[in-house]
Amino acid sequence: MRIVVLAGGIGGARFLRGLKQAAPDADITVIGNTGDDIHLFGLKVCPDLDTVMYTLGGGINEEQGWGRDDETFHLKEELAAYGVGPEWFGLGDRDFATHIVRTQMLGAGYPLSAVTEALCDRWKPGVRLIPMTDDRVETHVAVTLPDDASAEGPGERKAIHFQEYWVRLRASVPAEAVVPVGAELAKPAPGVLEAIAEADVVLFPPSNPVVSVGTILAVPGIREAIADAGVPVVGLSPIIGDAPVRGMADKVLAAVGVESTAAAVAEHYGSGLLDGWLVDTTDAGSVERVEAAGIRCRAVPLLMTDLEATVRMADEALALAEEVRGA
C-alpha cells in the first residue's frame, strides 16, 4: 500500500510514528511543510522537515517534541554574548550541524529535496520525506502589535515571519492574516505529484490546518493532484472539544475565518478534497454535521498519549479510508 501524508511538525511526526507501526509494509511518502523555514545566522533552518526526520530517525527530544536529544546550547549562548540574535529561537549545538550541512549543500546548488534526501541517508526515517517545494515559501502573519511590544508607536500593523509569531510572541496577539509568501509561484518538489498520483490513500495527520497542511495545499498543483487522485483522502482533527490538542491552531484558524471545532476544520478542507474525517469521541456530536457536508466521519479517541494510542488512530484512519473506498 502506498500512503501519502501531508505533515507539519510535531503532530505530523508523532502521527507518522504510529502510522509506520500500523502499516509496517506500506510505502509512505511524507510531503513536508517548508513554510515555517527560516534563515538564522546565515543558515537555512527547516523546523518541520527536521522534526519529522529526527522523530522518525530516533534523534528527537521526546519531551519537547522538537530539537535534538542530549542537546546543549553553548553556541547559542556565545552568539548572545556577541550580541547576535534572535535569542528566542532555540537552536542547539547538535541541531546546528543539520543546518550547516543543509546550507552548504544548498550553497553548492543542490535543491532542498536532494538535500533532505541526503540528510535522511543518515537518519533513515523509514519514510520518503519530500519538501512540498524546492522554491522559497515563507509564511508571514499580519498582526497589530500592542503599544508596549513595538518601538514604532501604538497599534502598529505589520507582517512578521511565522516563527516570530509562533515562537517569540507565542501567538499572544490575534493573527489578522496568514500568508504563505511565494506559494503562488512555487512548484511542487520533484516526486510530490508523482507520489500523490500513485498513492492508494492520502492522509492529513492532526497537524495545523492553516500553517502546516494549509501551506502545503497552497502550492499550486498539490491540492488539485489530491482531489484528482481518485483515492480516499482521510484526515484527523487537530481540534478536540473546541481547542487545539497542542499548539495554538485556534489563533491561525480565526485568521482564515474558521471556528476552532473539529467540524469547522473538516468543512474548511471541504468535501471536494476530503473524503473521511476522524473527530475525537468528545466531539461525537459533530459527526452528523461533518457527514452533512459530504464527508464520512467517525468519532474515535484522538489523543496521541503514547505510541499505542497513536497506532490505533492510524488504524482508524486507514479503516475509514477502506470504508470510503468500498462505498
Between 122 and 158, CB nearer to a second copy: 122
For the chain, what is the radius of gyration of the CA atoms? 19
* Nearest distance in Å: CB 140, a second copy: 23
* 240, 241, 244, 248 alpha-carbon torsion, rounded to 10°: 170
Between 41 and 89, CB nearer to a second copy: 41
Edge-first strand listing for the sheet containing 296-299: 128-131, 27-32, 2-7, 201-204, 233-236, 276-279, 296-299
Between 122 and 325, CB nearer to a second copy: 122
* Nearest distance in Å: CB 116, a second copy: 13
Question: Cβ(91)–Cβ(48) under 8 Å?
Answer: no
Between 121 and 148, CB nearer to a second copy: 121
Question: Between vectors from CA 172 to CA 169 and to CA 177, what angle results, nearest 5°?
Answer: 90
Q: How far is CA 24 from CA 2, 13, 19, 108, in A?
A: 11, 16, 8, 36
* Nearest distance in Å: CB 44, a second copy: 11
* Nearest distance in Å: CB 118, a second copy: 8
| Cell numbers describing residue 114 | 536532494
Between 40 and 300, CB nearer to a second copy: 40
Instruction: State the Cα–Cα distance between residues 85 and 78, nearest whole angstrom.
Output: 10
* Nearest distance in Å: CB 53, a second copy: 12
Of 103, 254, 120, 105, the C-alpha closest to 175 is 254
Between 88 and 154, CB nearer to a second copy: 88
What are the φ and ψ backbone dihedral angles of 13, each rounded to 5 degrees? -65, -45
Between 71 and 164, CB nearer to a second copy: 71
**Residues found near a second copy in the complex (CB under 8 A):** 41-42, 68, 71-72, 74-79, 81-84, 92-94, 96-98, 100-101, 103-104, 107, 119, 122
* Nearest distance in Å: CB 90, a second copy: 14
Residue type, 59: G
* Nearest distance in Å: CB 135, a second copy: 22
Of 133, 228, 229, the C-alpha closest to 188 is 133
3-state secondary structure of 157: strand
